[in-house]
Amino acid sequence: MTTMTATAEAPLVLTPDQELELVKKELPAKRGEFRKIFPLFKGYYRVNFHNDETNAITRSYFVQVNGSKLTY
């Protein structure tokens, strides 16, 4: 008789500061724009990119931090 033992890995839990750093790393600002990050609730963020000259929003993302990756 063969027995198999499998260990389930615990999901990666990040602190709010680590989540914010992950969002900053994954969504950098391009030349000519600046980024504003708004924490909405645990693990969810709104990231807006504004034009440097006009302050108009050029891109916007709603993201969820899942472990070490972002879900759009």
Q: What is the pLDDT of residue 64?
A: 97
Indicate whether this model's pTM tops 0.75. Answer: yes
SS3 for the chain is CCCCCCCCCCCCCCCHHHHHHHHHHHCCCCCCEEEEEEEEECCEEEEEEEECCCCCEEEEEEEEEECCEEEC
Dump pLDDT digits (tens) for 3-37. 666 666 666 788 999 999 999 999 999 999 999 99
Q: What is the pLDDT of residue 13?
A: 86
40, pLDDT greater than 80: yes
